[in-house]
Amino acid sequence: MATFKPLVFSGMQPTHTLHIGNYLGALTRWVDMQKTHDCIYCVVDMHAITQGLDVWGGPKVLAKSIREVTAAYIAAGVDPKRSIIFNQSQVAEHAELAWVFNCVSRLGWLNRMTQFKEKAGKDREAASVGLYSYPNLMAADILVYRATAVPVGEDQKQHLELTRDIAQKFNNDFAESIAEHGFGDAFFPLPDPLTQGPAPRVMSLRDGAKKMSKSDPSDLSRINLTDDADMIAAKIRKAKTDPEPLPSEAKGLAGRPEAENLVTIYAALADETTEAVLAEFGGGPFSRFKQALGDVAVARLAPIAGEMRRLLADPGHVDAVLAEGAARARAIARPNMDAVKDIVGFIRSA
Ligand code: TRP
């Protein structure tokens, strides 16, 4: 079996602003991965336009969101010198490979995607073709770099499985040509999802049964990465709780989703275990715990918001980071795409 150089790829959509769920669940892990891996972190702007204009907000909002997500990556600790940061639409090879994958992927495979069903809603006939073929573009994002590992949340695992199916089918369908062009028995790796590790599920501050979401109409339901210290503290004060004091042991959190969520957030922000948090605050009133939670949240997040504001005050600098990242990304993607063209049998000028 062919071996591939370890390479990490991940991305987030520039729709709405990012919140602490994105930070604790994804960005902190992206930052850690840089210590051990070569990493490519993409702002997937072409995925953002798969839904209605009302969802991504139109041209002015999109440009602003792309810069904001880029600033969030950097402010959270992704180092643009070390890792590659860029927006997807600047590297045309993503779209180019996605077309080939549209012809490898099967209707039956896409019909099984649960995210399409959720996002398309009741009126499936009115969904864009782009929303339907979204997973093929996602496979292209990853495989155009022949990336081997993809940090993603649970909700993206099905897309990763599809990516592996596409890679496998391409490798099989073109096996002879792949060998003839000197790529051995496989051109694409089968990338692994990295879902393990301390990725807490952060829920809405208004409803412990719902995931914290950038699209929740209530801004009080989430702590945005752009919220300043006063806003963070106020949202935690107003977070939904129940009338019981905090339990002293983790099993006492069962059936108390709001309490569990706040303890999870505290543990992640303070880098402590749930048990340690409950040992300190169990038995005491929520007011004392919320005060402490507000303090760690502000200490950890307000500097990120401050750094984002500083970066966004100079959009030219952010754009330059994206341009440089795109050039570095293209330097990897172009030769891979040329190889795909050769393998498929397209004629290209050298
Ligand atoms: N679908 C991902 C999400 O909504 C975003 C995404 C697009 C992505 N392309 C990717 C994630 C490639 C990882 C790798 O969260």
DSSP string, 282-327: TTS-HHHHHHHHHHHHHHHHHHHHHHHHHHHT-HHHHHHHHHHHHH
3-class DSSP state for residue 273?
coil
Tens-place pLDDT, residues 259-297: 999 999 999 999 999 999 999 999 988 899 999 999 999
DSSP conformational letter for 217: S
DSSP conformational letter for 188: S
Does the C-beta of 152 come closer than 6 Å to ligand 1?
Answer: yes
**Which of these, 14, 10, 57, lies nearest to 30 by C-alpha position?**
10
Which residues fall within 8 angstroms of residue 159, CB to CB, at 6 or more apart? 113, 115, 135, 138, 139, 152
> Mean pLDDT, the chain, as a whole number?
95
What are the E-state strand segments in 180-254? 192-194
Residues 311, 46, 49: CA angle, nearest 5 degrees: 100
For the sheet with 149-151, list strands across it: 84-87, 39-43, 8-12, 149-151, 192-194
Nearest-CA residue for ligand 1 atom 8 is 11
Could you tell me the CA-to-CA distances from 15 to 54, 83, 307 in Å, in that order?
A: 10, 22, 20
**Which of these, 116, 22, 127, 117, lies nearest to 65 by C-alpha position?**
22
Checking if the pLDDT of 248 tops 90, the result is yes
Band of pLDDT at residue 76, cut at 50, 70 and 90:
very high
Tens-place pLDDT, residues 110-145: 999 999 999 999 999 999 999 999 999 999 999 999
pLDDT, mean of residues 23-44 = 95
Q: What's the CA gap between 171 and 187, in Å, rounded?
A: 6
Ligand 1 atom nearest to 138, measured from its CA: 9
Could you tell me the CA-to-CA distances from 255 to 209, 221, 242, 243, 247 in Å, in that order?
A: 10, 20, 11, 13, 12
Q: Which of 64, 119, 169, 341 is catalytic?
A: 119
Instruction: Give me the pLDDT at residue 312, please.
Output: 97
H or E segment and range at residue 39: strand 39-43
Band of pLDDT at residue 2, cut at 50, 70 and 90:
confident
Band of pLDDT at residue 197, cut at 50, 70 and 90:
low
**Which of these, 175, 197, 202, lies nearest to 186 by C-alpha position?**
175
Q: Which of 64, 169, 210, 211 is catalytic?
A: 211
Instruction: Give me the pLDDT at residue 199, please.
Output: 63
Checking if the pLDDT of 198 tops 60, the result is no
Instruction: Give me the pLDDT at residue 115, please.
Output: 96
Instruction: Give me the pLDDT at residue 196, please.
Output: 60
Nearest-CA residue for ligand 1 atom 14 is 10
